[in-house]
Structure 1
Amino acid sequence: MVRANRPGVFAIGYLAAVLLLLYAPVVVIVLFSFADSPRLSLPIEGLTLDWYRNAFDNPLMGVAVRNSLILAVVSAVGCGTLGAAFAFGIVKMKRARLRGALLGASLLPAVVPLLVIGISLAVFFSALGLHQSLRNAAFGHILVCLPFVILTMNARLETFDFSVLEAARDLGASPFRAFRDITFPLIRPSILGAGLLAAALSLDEFVVTWFNIGSQQTLPVLVWGLMRRGIDPSINAVASVLMITMVALVIGSSLYGRRRR
């Protein structure tokens, strides 16, 4: 009986070790963001919210938060619109080989290193005479987030029943009305979920942003700049807020993606 249970014990131990490796740094960041001592060392003598106040009293923090939110909204709207349209077009294709080729091509930005994408976009915008700005960073965020939205929407639309659209057309509905009254209500939860996922990815994006945003800043860029001066608990506070926001967006994306009308 003991021998029979050994594989299960080893599997649980291995799983616990992997989870500890993944989440221990996150727990440490959150824990030290509440420590009342500026030294990042154990044991923690007391808890405080002063580091959160200090972080958001920084005037640069408000600008960085605003820029991050702008990029997140632009990424959610842009990727949700483009990704849904692209995935819908792919699913309707009858040639499986062409469909697979287009889907694979759309996922290339998720495979190419972000460093290459960031430098390529910077060179491309420079050749067009467009100086580094929040606009350039927005294009980069859409490019980076779009493959994940397409993949999410494609998985949802694989089970879409196109016969309801044919029935609507047979009853005299125009293509626009069929989309407005039937297609969009059915896929709206998936579009919202994919948009939230794009927003979460955008909030975390650093490499492409750094090469294209110029003198402006987002939260990841600001945190990187602050860390060059040294690590203090206010950085942990910013990282904790950013992480909680991203987790909330991902959970919202998962919940919306599972909904069915």
Structure 2
Amino acid sequence: MRRWLADRWVMGVALLVLGYLSLPIIVVAGLSFNRPSSRLSYDFNEFTLDNWTHPCATSDMCDALVRSMEIGLIATVVSTILGTLMAFALVRHGFRGRSGINGLIFLPMATPELVMGTSLLALFVAAGVPQGFWTIVIAHVMFCVSFVVVTVKARLAGMDRRLEEAAMDLYASEWQTFRRITLPLVLPGIVAAALLAFSLSFDDFIITNFNAGTTVTFPMYVWGAAQRGIPPQVNVIGTAMFAIALLLVGASSLRGRRARRAALAAPVAAVGAPTSAS
């Protein structure tokens, strides 16, 4: 009886927390179908699909959105490649100074964005680098790499190395083992790290604001629009991005489960090693 009550209590708390976290998303999704009475009104006035059929009614907003997506994609690709290579080096190889590097990885994560933004601003000004699109990309890569390293490291640390050893025992080369065993198992972690890096880059405002120059990103546009009324199309974009992220996370999780089952069930078939007759 006590166990039953404890389980119900834990489930109730979990549902409350989930509802609390989901409430802003639900409000944004609802307001995406609203025709406000004025730009400064956030009350639900009238149901409409115009916001969804004309998401780029405000051209400046869509320009800022595309620019943020370009910055986010470039920063994600670069930081994911660098962070994944660094994670493999820190987990799979022993070298002098590894513990110090492990500690430095957390430095950008622990540093306040205000401090990092002003530091990068001083660096770019001292180096004579004009502020704009590429200074934003450099700044975003700098803090996204740490999150990629930590995420991929956690995935690598939880892997069963015996699967790789079994593949090598069955005459698989190092490249075959990496391509058929290691990469499928670590891929969900890499995808999760890439999604995290993109969301951090796309959402960043403080560091971007210090190093953007005249370039306007989507968060900067929303911040400026908040003073004169946020257009309802912003809610459409937010709802669409949440739905896409949810689909990507679900697809990544499903792919990870299939990869684990395939690697655990038939390492011989995955490697395709020849058998020798005695």
The reply to whether TM is greater than 0.5 is yes
Q: Could you tell me which amino acid in structure 2 is paired with residue 187 of structure 1?
A: L
Contact 2:117–2:207 (CA<8 Å) still a contact in 1?
Answer: yes
User: How far apart are the structure 1 equivalents of 2:36 and 2:178?
Assistant: 56
2:187 maps to 1:187: no
Contact 1:192–1:257 (CA<8 Å) still a contact in 2?
Answer: no
Question: Offset at 1:234?
Answer: 2.8
| 3-state DSSP of counterpart to 2:56 | helix
Contact 1:200–1:249 (CA<8 Å) still a contact in 2?
Answer: no
User: How far apart are the structure 2 equivalents of 1:41 and 1:193?
Assistant: 36
Normalised to the residue count of structure 1, the TM-score between the two structures is: 0.80
User: How far apart are the structure 2 equivalents of 1:152 and 1:67?
Assistant: 26
2:72 maps to 1:76: no
2:47 maps to 1:47: yes
Q: Which residue of 1 aligns with 2:57?
A: 57
Matches within 5 A, 1:140-159: 140-158=139-157, 159=159
Percentage identity across aligned positions? 30
Q: 1:200–1:121: structure 2 CA closer, same or farther, 3 Å change rule?
A: same
1:135-178 deviations in whole A, cap 9, x for unaligned?
0111111122111211122123233647589879x99x7xxxx4
Question: Offset at 1:6?
Answer: 4.3
1:42-67 deviations in whole A, cap 9, x for unaligned?
5x6x4222224554122213322221
Q: Which residue of 2 aligns with 1:30?
A: 29
Contact 2:132–2:211 (CA<8 Å) still a contact in 1?
Answer: yes
Question: Offset at 1:30?
Answer: 0.9
Contact 2:35–2:48 (CA<8 Å) still a contact in 1?
Answer: yes
Q: 1:233–1:57: structure 2 CA closer, same or farther, 3 Å change rule?
A: closer
Contact 1:203–1:246 (CA<8 Å) still a contact in 2?
Answer: no
More moved, 77-86 vs 184-193: 184-193
Question: Offset at 1:223?
Answer: 1.4
User: How far apart are the structure 1 equivalents of 2:65 and 2:14?
Assistant: 36
Q: Which residue of 2 aligns with 1:124?
A: 123
Q: Could you tell me which amino acid in structure 2 is paired with residue 57 of structure 1?
A: A
C-alpha RMSD over aligned residues: 3.1
Q: Could you tell me which amino acid in structure 2 is paired with residue 83 of structure 1?
A: G
Contact 2:56–2:62 (CA<8 Å) still a contact in 1?
Answer: yes
User: How far apart are the structure 1 equivalents of 2:138 and 2:249?
Assistant: 22
Question: Offset at 1:103?
Answer: 1.8
* Structure 2: runs of 5+ lacking an equivalent: 264-278
* Structure 1: runs of 5+ lacking an equivalent: none
More moved, 244-253 vs 59-68: 244-253
More moved, 28-37 vs 154-163: 154-163
Matches within 5 A, 1:191-206: 191-206=190-205
Q: Which residue of 2 aligns with 1:92?
A: 92
Normalised to the residue count of structure 2, the TM-score between the two structures is: 0.75
Q: Which residue of 2 aligns with 1:227?
A: 226
Contact 1:73–1:199 (CA<8 Å) still a contact in 2?
Answer: yes
Contact 1:110–1:147 (CA<8 Å) still a contact in 2?
Answer: yes
Question: Offset at 1:34?
Answer: 0.4
1:11-59 deviations in whole A, cap 9, x for unaligned?
33332332222221221111011023434325x6x42222245541222
Q: 1:63–1:232: structure 2 CA closer, same or farther, 3 Å change rule?
A: closer
Q: 1:220–1:24: structure 2 CA closer, same or farther, 3 Å change rule?
A: same
Contact 1:196–1:253 (CA<8 Å) still a contact in 2?
Answer: no
| 3-state DSSP of counterpart to 2:100 | helix
Contact 2:52–2:233 (CA<8 Å) still a contact in 1?
Answer: yes
How many residues in Structure 1 have an aligned counterpart in Structure 2? 250
Q: Could you tell me which amino acid in structure 2 is paired with residue 183 of structure 1?
A: F
2:67 maps to 1:67: yes
Q: Which residue of 2 aligns with 1:19?
A: 18
Question: Offset at 1:7?
Answer: 3.7
User: How far apart are the structure 2 equivalents of 1:164 and 1:79?
Assistant: 32
